[in-house]
Chains A and B, each alone.
Chain A
Amino acid sequence: MSDAFHVEVKDLCVTARNAKGETFPIVSGIDFALKRGEVLALIGESGSGKTTIALTLLGHARPGATIAGGSIRVGDVDICALDAKSLAQLRGNRIAYIAQSAASAFNPSRTIMDQVVEPALIHDLMPRDKAEAKAVELFSALALPFPDTIGSRYPHQLSGGQLQRLMAAMALITDPELVILDEPTTALDVTTQIEVLRAFKAVVLERGATAVYVSHDLAVVAQMADKIVVLNQGRIREAGAADQVLHRPADDYTKTLMAAARPAIRPTPKQADLPTAPLLEIRGVTAGYGKIGKDGRPRVPVLRDINLTIERGATLGVIGESGSGKSTIARVIAGLLPPASGQVLLDGEPLPPGLAGRSREQFRRVQLVFQNADTALNPAHSVGQILERPLAFYHGLKGNAAHMRVLELLDLIRLPVNLIDRNIGGLSGGQKQRVNLARALAADPQLILCDEVTSALDTVVGAAILDLMADLRRDLGIATMFISHDISTVRAICDDILVLYSGTMVEMGPRTAFQSAPFHPYTDLLIGSVPEMRAGWLEESHAGRKPPPVGAAGDHPDLCRFLPRCAARVDGLCNITPPPRHPLEKGSRILCHHGDESLIAS
């Protein structure tokens, strides 16, 4: 009976040693089996052991860990019984691995082709010219641009999404029978993710390889998997067919995961505002790096003509892909990057452009929370020291008064009081992000600039942080600028939304305007690229399809920047004339030639 399965893992146990030298299991009691050509998804939070299990299929345990028990069978081979030499023959040959970050998995000093054909050459499967021909074939199957010549480029000349697909080509060149994909799209923008997923699905699945897909993203898994194994703390919580796990989860933990993946709408009742100036106003800000030229633009412009307002206690969401300039807005407001032109007004009063000249009071009212709490908190300080500094700096609190306030803050962010003397290195990712938030709150600010505060966190932990922020906003009335690449989160928690593309505002409006079409073509692409939690979405989605052909673009500096990727572009208009900024009926303003009717029609 068991012969029917291609991959079979029975009672797998991997152990590691802690600092005291005691062995403890990282994962235990893992059983699953796969038929040839099936895709199994391992899902769970970080630390759940999903990568550990995936690596055991290669016969590998990370340094410090050992495969302590159970059996792993791939085809007719018992992985656990093999020695290092036979394992080496198997790896990159019959079993291939696609890592999370292709950008760091490629050697920057060698061409792509050299690296892609390497597995075939190492295992002596085919001569080099044949391997290169096969690589080119794979490049075009993976929908890479210029498949004939892309191999002669170096990794730094290619984008993250392209590298991820090239990594797949490297894995598939030996026609492996088992492919392990370890979070292959996690580091990518949604708009890139959809292209990579399409390419993976087409190539990996059509070649009939068995695949193990490791991910924390249920919606992505829904597109790829036949079977799903849900892991938590090294144990299987639920295993079954994809359809059953996604739509009729039996386990409580799976249900929690599902709930966290769909951000709850958190309406914020606007405070009865006094008719005063908005809390923050940005007028015509252009910013970037390098010398400022004669036309008033910096040499490397990042932001162009940004205008926005944030009311007291309101939340503004800023979304866009990486490189769209969303973090730069926060840096300009905080004074870290003086704008080339334009003004930032706080409470109707212009803020000095740079750090110099701002008063301590102005600093206090605007607080910046960085994306990555690992680097935003000084590793040499303890939690208490980090929280006491703004108290002493802005409010002159010292000694016992400061200590009491720190305890209050810890209570506010729901951290246990005994963490106060803990060094930053001893906190978990979620705890660090809470401390990061608490440091901003310690200043008693009016505006918090949150730069991707949940991106580095697991879904469940991230959802808890979002809940916390919603509570804080309700209780303390602090305005928030919420920067994110995740449009579903932004739509759930923000009052107003700004969509940035390549440093220009392409659409801005209240949340209600982002519930239904028409959208700016870029907003449409962003929304359409977010995977839905059902099978078949990937095939149906129209996002990321080829745009219609247009003539060469004119040389006007204010032409639509989304032109090269726009699915609704019009030849003779979009490539010649700069787009106007105009309102849509639903309440948002867009930067596009299209109006309500033509957007819906396209």
Chain B
Amino acid sequence: MARSIKGAIALPLSGKIGLTLVLFWILAALIGPMLAPYPVGAFVAFDVFDGSSGAHWLGSDYLGRDVLSRLLWGARYTVALAAAAALLASTTGTALALTAAVGGPKVDEPLSRFMDMLISIPSKIFSLVLVAAFGSSLPLLLLIAAITYVPGNYRIARALAVNLAQMDYVQVAKARGEGRFHIAIAEVLPNMIHPLLADFGLRFVFIVLLLSGLSFLGLGVQPPDADLGSLVRENISGLGEGALAILAPAVAIATLTVGVNLLIDALPGRGKRK
């Protein structure tokens, strides 16, 4: 704990900003609904696309619901679902990539062709089919988002790992008699962690977008609940008047994704260590 606080202090300014934003959104996801002034689906304002007022800090949405309350509820879905899906996609992709890189052509070829096949399936159609077959649920959304982004992560991780597996220190480890697992985890993985974190940030953003796209089609998080993406989508008609109802969730998505990426870019990478 003391070490991570020290690490946070050592971060450059951009990293501190990123860390603050990420912590803020994690906090919002955890305790946001408790702080929300109104229930998530309640019609509480008399006017739609209201501006900021004492009763409704962020105005009202296209049905006259309180935007702040919906935002606080929605953050939970976006942060938890997107983070979990991105984590699942990245770990699966990277694990498969390491297997391919140290396993030689006999493992690499079939795995890579399988991933090529997966990457060729349009993600929206894929989700439509799965949702149609099993019905929309949070675990299914998580799975869809993860499966959609495994091949991309696999491609990047494999490219990194195959190069690293040719390095002299990996040859030394092989000549020492080390097993594949040790080579993958101890020799190769630590040297690709930084680009992989950057990739994680990218996947996270993509998944937020995918989830909001699904919500727009009515396949994502089901009303009256909404994630941040669907808040933007459902209030799209307020765009012309510059309503807070669309600006607030858009800013929320921006701060969340920018925060994640700022933090990841500022983490100490190769060459920056002492």
B177 within 8 A of A: yes
Pick the residue among B169, B190, B271, B273 that contacts A377 (CB under 8 A).
B169
Chain B, residues 153-183, CB within 8 Å of chain A (1/0): the string is 0000000000000011101101111100000
A 371-413 binary contact with B (CB < 8 Å = 1; else 0): 0100111111100000001100100000000000000000000
In the complex, A567 has a CB within 8 A of chain B: no
Chain B contacts of A368 at CB under 8 A?
171-172, 175
Q: Indicate if B274 sits at the interface (CB-CB under 8 A).
A: yes
Q: Which range holds the interface residue count of chain B?
A: 10 to 19
Supposing A336-B171, A423-B274, A425-B273 touch, asked if A380 and B176 sit within 8 A by C-beta, the answer is: no
Say yes or no: B270 contacts A372, CB within 8 Å: no
Q: B177's closest neighbor in chain A, by CB?
A: A363
| A425 interface neighbour in B176, B177, B186, B271, Cβ under 8 Å | B271
Partner of B168 from A375, A389, A425 at Cβ < 8 Å: A375
Q: What distance in Å separates the Cβ of B260 from its nearest Cβ neighbour in chain A?
A: 23
Q: Is the pair B174, A393 in contact by a Cβ cutoff of 8 Å?
A: no
Say yes or no: B273 contacts A372, CB within 8 Å: no
Chain A at the B interface: SS class? mixed
Closest 10 CB pairs of A and B: A363-B177, A380-B190, A375-B168, A376-B168, A334-B175, A378-B169, A368-B175, A370-B168, A380-B191, A423-B273
Tell me which of A355, A364, A375, A426 contacts B169 (CB under 8 A): A375
Residue pair B168, A363 in contact (C-beta under 8 Å): no
Residue B265 lies at the interface, judged by CB distance under 8 Å to chain A: no
A342-381 near B? 1/0 per residue, CB < 8 Å: 0000000000000100101001100110101001111111
Distance in Å from the Cβ of A440 to the closest Cβ of chain B? 9
Tell me the bound Cα distance from A523 to B176 in angstroms: 34
A117 vs chain B, min Cβ distance (A): 37
Determine how close the nearest CB of chain B comes to the CB of A520; give it in whole angstroms.
31
Whether B270 pairs with A379 at a CB distance below 8 angstroms is yes
In Å, the complex CA distance between A443 and B172 comes to: 12
Any A CB within 8 A of the CB of B234? no
- Chain A residues, CB < 8 A from B169: 375-378
Asked whether A360 lies within 8 Å of B177 as measured between CB atoms, the reply is: yes
> Taking the complex as formed, is A518 at the interface, i.e. its CB lies under 8 A from any CB of chain B?
no
Distance in Å from the Cβ of B22 to the closest Cβ of chain A? 25
* Complexed CA–CA distance, A443 and B175 (Å): 12
| A368-B172, A375-B167, A378-B191 known, 6 other contacts, Cβ within 8 Å | A336-B174, A355-B174, A363-B177, A372-B168, A425-B270, A426-B274
Cross-chain pairs A/B with CB under 8 angstroms, 22 sampled: A335-B175, A336-B171, A363-B177, A368-B171, A368-B175, A370-B168, A370-B171, A372-B168, A375-B167, A375-B168, A376-B168, A378-B169, A378-B187, A378-B191, A379-B191, A380-B191, A380-B270, A381-B190, A390-B176, A423-B273, A425-B271, A425-B273
With A379-B270, A381-B190 in contact, is A370–B172 under 8 Å at CB? yes
Within B207-243, the residues touching A (CB, 8 Å) are: none
Give the residue name and chain of the A residue nearest to B187 (CB): A378
CB distance from A358 to the nearest CB of B (A): 7
Contacts of A426 in B (CB 8 A): 274
Using Cβ atoms and an 8 Å threshold, which residues of chain B touch A423?
273-274
Given the complex, which residues of A lie within 8 Å of B171, measured CB to CB? 336, 368, 370, 376
Instruction: Give the docked Cα–Cα distance between A377 and B273 (Å).
Output: 16
Query: Which B residues are CB-close (under 8 A) to A363?
Result: 175-177
When distances are taken between beta carbons in the complex, the residues of chain A under 8 Å from B174 are: 336, 355
Q: Which residues of B contact A380 (CB under 8 A)?
A: 190-191, 270
Cα-based distance from A358 to B176 in the complex (angstroms):
10
In Å, the complex CA distance between A220 and B26 comes to 65
Q: Which residue of A lies closest to B167 (CB)?
A: A375
Q: How far is the CB of B49 from chain A (nearest CB, A)?
A: 52
Contacts of A336 in B (CB 8 A): 171, 174-175
Please tell me if the beta carbons of B168 and A393 are within 8 angstroms of each other in the complex. Answer: no
Q: Contact check, B177 vs A358: say whether CB atoms are below 8 A apart.
A: yes
A325 to B167, alpha carbons, bound, how many Å? 19
Q: For the complex, give the distance between the alpha carbons of A484 and B163 in Å.
A: 27
Q: Name the residue on B nearest A421 (C-beta).
A: B274
Q: Which A residues are CB-close (under 8 A) to B167?
A: 375
Chain A, 117-143, CB within 8 A of any chain B CB: none
B168-A443 in contact (CB<8A): no
Rounded to whole angstroms, the CA-CA distance of A380 and B191 in the bound complex is: 6
A-chain residues with CB within 8 Å of residue B172 when the two chains form the complex = 368, 370, 376, 439
When distances are taken between beta carbons in the complex, the residues of chain B under 8 Å from A390 are 176
Q: Find chain B residues with CB under 8 A from A425 CB.
A: 270-271, 273
Q: Are B274 and A378 in touch, CB under 8 angstroms?
A: no
Q: Please tell me if the beta carbons of A378 and B190 are within 8 angstroms of each other in the complex.
A: yes
A318→B32 CA distance, assembly (Å): 71
Q: How far is the CA of A363 from the CA of B173 in the complex (A)?
A: 11
Give CA–CA (A367, B271) in the complex, Å: 29
Would you call B177 and A393 a contact (CB within 8 A)?
A: yes
CB contacts (< 8 Å) of B187 on chain A: these are 378
Chain A residues 180-194 with CB under 8 Å of chain B are: none
